[in-house]
């Protein structure tokens, strides 16, 4: 029997997120014969352009228009989806800040299994869905078996699946009437936009980026001196901002800035997907890290396995000598 798979579509200002098309590919990887429905929740006329955009990828699109869904508040979306979705549904959504807010609780409300942050799908064996996840910031992977007999909520990592590009001519079905009354106990107030710092790392051609491997606030100067010597700007990964060693405006990653440099030099950065998600444009990447197993070496072009606290000052001196 073919499965019923539902993909929750993220969207902003009338445009579907990239993940909307990745989820269609993930659904195919679960069961190529499944009937796959896009679910577009929100309020107002901007839903129509989203529905139209995804109807070129999904054969069926459910439109759920409700005033309480104007802002994607998981506390309103969860009860709405619990009413709209059929029992036993397989629900896919992006493992982004909305998916993390919504998915775990939705699985409880649907009495379904939940698997977060899925990076690979190895297919279906009866009621057992075989998936791949990562642990310890991507240092190791795990095979997961999930019993989907009573349905499942699967959060899929952004960028893990490539859109197939298959075009269909889908139809839009209005499901707004199924939602009924929603009284969320959490109210969206406003979005405070991240501060722009003294340096705009998004405009830099060359970034010297520091991570936890820099070990101490005092050692940030090692990165700064290298950056000064080559005309680069210093950026960083999340732990450096958490430790308050550099401003938030210097942070590269999904919870920081998206950068598009030509050259990216990663000093003591392990390379979590959240960090790599903030690096676009396929720069020439150099990784310097003492842990040869650091995931950053999988994506870098050139690596040096060494103690950066000793090596980088040497490198900086050498660059100055040669100038």
Partner 1 sequence: MEILVCVKRVPDTAENEIVVNSSGSDIERGDLVYSVNEWDNYAVEEAIQIRDRVGGSVTVVTVGDEESEEVLRREMAMGADKGILISDPAFEGSDGKGIASILKAEVEKGKYDLILTGAQADDGAAQVGGMLAAMLDLPFASLVNKIEIVNDKTIKVGREVEGGNQEMNEISLPCVLSIQTGINEPRYVGIRGIRKVASVEIPVHKAADLGIDPAKVGKAGAKVKKVDYFIPPAGKGAEILEGSSEEIADKLIELLKAKGGIK
- Regarding 206 and contact with partner 1 (CB under 8 A), the answer is yes
* Minimum CB distance to partner 1, residue 167 (Å): 28
Tell me which residue has tokens 């095979």. 143
Report the residue from 44, 56, 164, 188 that binds partner 1 according to the rule CB under 8 A. Answer: 188
Token digits of residue 259: 């950068």
74 binds partner 1 (CB under 8 A): yes
Q: Are 222 and 249 in contact (CB under 8 A)?
A: no
Tokens of 288: 């310097």
Among 4, 29, 60, 109, binds partner 1 (CB under 8 A): 109
CB 261 within 8 A of CB 209: no
Which of 286, 290, 273 lies closest to 238, judged by CA?
273
User: Does 42 contact partner 1 by CB under 8 A?
Assistant: no
Residue 112 dihedral angles phi and psi, to the nearest 5°:
-115, 165
Question: What does the per-residue mask of binding to partner 1 show for 243-272, with x meaning CB under 8 A?
Answer: -x---x--x--xxxxx---xx-x-------
Q: Does the footprint of partner 1 cover residue 220 (CB under 8 A)?
A: no
Of the candidate residues 100, 182, 199, 309, the single one contacting partner 1 (CB under 8 A): 100
Which residue in 174, 153, 179, 176 sits closest to 61, CA to CA? 174
Q: Which stretch binds partner 1 (CB under 8 A): 19-27, 31-39, 162-170, 229-237?
A: 229-237
Contact with partner 1 (CB under 8 A) among 180, 186, 216, 217: 186
In the complex, minimum distance from the CB of residue 16 to partner 1, in angstroms, rounded to a whole number? 15
Q: Which stretch binds partner 1 (CB under 8 A): 33-41, 49-57, 160-168, 306-314?
A: 306-314
- CA dist 269 and 234 (Å) reads 13
* Contact pattern from residue 119 through residue 158 relative to partner 1, giving x for each residue in contact according to CB under 8 A and a dash for the rest: -------------xxxxxx-xxxxxxxxx--x--------
Q: Does 221 bind partner 1 (CB under 8 A)?
A: no
Pairing of strands 206-210, 233-236: parallel
What the block records as the tokens of 219 is 């050692």
Q: Which of 223, 232, 269, 276 binds partner 1 (CB under 8 A)?
A: 232
Q: What is the DSSP string of 296-315?
A: HHHH-SEEEES-HHHHHHHH
């Amino acid at each position: 029997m073919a499965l019923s798979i539902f993909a929750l579509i993220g969207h902003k200002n009338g445009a579907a997120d990239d993940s909307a098309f990745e989820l269609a590919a993930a659904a195919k990887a679960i069961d190529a014969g499944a009937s796959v429905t896009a679910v577009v929740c929100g309020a107002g006329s901007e839903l129509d352009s989203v529905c139209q955009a995804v109807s070129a990828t999904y054969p069926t699109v459910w439109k759920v228009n409700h005033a309480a869904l104007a802002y994607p508040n998981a506390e309103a979306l969860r009860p709405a989806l619990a009413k709209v979705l059929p029992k036993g549904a397989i629900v896919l959504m992006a493992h982004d800040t909305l998916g993390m807010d919504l998915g775990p609780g939705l699985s409880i409300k649907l009495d379904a299994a939940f698997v977060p942050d899925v990076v690979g799908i190895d297919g279906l064996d009866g009621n057992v869905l075989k998936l791949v996840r990562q642990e310890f910031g991507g240092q190791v992977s795990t095979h997961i078996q999930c019993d989907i007999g009573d349905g499942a909520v699967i959060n899929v990592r952004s960028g893990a699946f490539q859109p197939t590009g298959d075009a269909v001519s889908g139809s839009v079905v209005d499901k707004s009437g199924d939602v009924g009354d929603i009284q969320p106990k959490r109210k969206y107030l406003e979005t405070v936009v991240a501060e722009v710092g003294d340096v705009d790392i998004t405009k830099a051609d060359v970034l010297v980026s520091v991570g936890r491997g820099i070990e101490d606030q005092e050692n940030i100067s090692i990165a700064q001196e290298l950056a000064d010597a080559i005309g680069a700007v210093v950026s960083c990964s999340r732990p450096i901002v958490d430790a308050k060693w550099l401003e938030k405006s210097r942070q590269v990653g999904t919870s920081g800035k998206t950068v598009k440099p030509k050259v990216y030099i990663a000093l003591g950065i392990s390379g979590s997907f959240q960090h790599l998600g903030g690096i676009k444009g396929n720069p020439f990447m150099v990784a310097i890290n003492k842990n040869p197993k650091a995931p950053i070496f999988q994506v870098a072009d050139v690596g040096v396995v060494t103690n950066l606290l000793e090596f980088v000052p040497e490198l900086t001196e050498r660059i100055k000598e040669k100038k």
